[in-house]
């Protein structure tokens, strides 16, 4: 995948601008960082990916003047469980053959459930820590469902950008 690092940095800046300047509602958190982690090359090991997730979350919290470490707390488990999630959704042969995720080969019918799973995996600890026991269950559940639906739709656009075809077939 060419330019993955540049795409990652540019989308990170878009996420920071979105959280800084477009706070739509207290019941809506639009996040596409988990989809960005999902779309990174699969040859990156879990430790390297967790360090990337931690640095990304910490930098985002610092830029948007959030609680330092809150985004990292929710993003690191996504990085830790990415290989297992890819094996569960796309099949273990994708990892065995050393292929990368591709919209053309895997299709939206597999990419969308993977995006839903990583977004839910991010939102559960993020909303739990952000509310810190102040709000009752139902407002938190509403925030989770609304955020999951909207964030997954936006994450599909991010996946389209991150998984742009390079013209390369199987390895």
Q: Where are the domains of the chain?
A: 4-162
Fold of 4-162: Arp2/3 complex 21 kDa subunit ARPC3 (1.10.1760)
Residue 14 pLDDT: 93
Q: What is the CA radius of gyration of the chain?
A: 16
Which residues of the chain carry a pLDDT beneath 70?
Answer: 1-2, 165-171
Residue 126 pLDDT: 93
CA–CA separation, 141 and 72 (whole Å): 21
Residue 125 pLDDT: 94
Residue 26 pLDDT: 83
Residue 92 CB coordination number (10 Å) = 12
Residue 1 pLDDT: 46
Residue 107 pLDDT: 84
Cβ proximity of 76 and 50 under 8 Å: yes
């Amino acid at each position: 995948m060419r330019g993955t690092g540049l795409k990652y940095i540019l989308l990170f800046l878009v996420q920071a601008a979105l959280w800084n300047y477009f706070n739509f509602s207290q019941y809506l958190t639009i996040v596409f960082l988990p989809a960005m982690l999902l779309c990174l090359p699969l040859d990156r090991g879990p430790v390297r990916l967790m360090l990337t997730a931690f640095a990304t979350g910490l930098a985002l919290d610092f830029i948007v003047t959030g609680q330092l470490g809150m985004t990292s707390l929710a993003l690191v488990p996504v990085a830790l469980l990415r290989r297992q999630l890819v094996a569960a959704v796309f099949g273990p042969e994708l990892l065995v053959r050393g292929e990368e995720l591709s919209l053309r080969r895997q299709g939206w019918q597999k990419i969308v459930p993977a995006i839903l799973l990583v977004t839910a995996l991010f939102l559960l600890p993020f909303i739990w820590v952000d509310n810190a026991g102040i709000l009752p269950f139902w407002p938190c559940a509403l925030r989770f469902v609304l955020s999951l639906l909207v964030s997954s739709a936006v994450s599909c656009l991010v996946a389209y950008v991150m998984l742009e075809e390079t013209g390369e077939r199987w390895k």
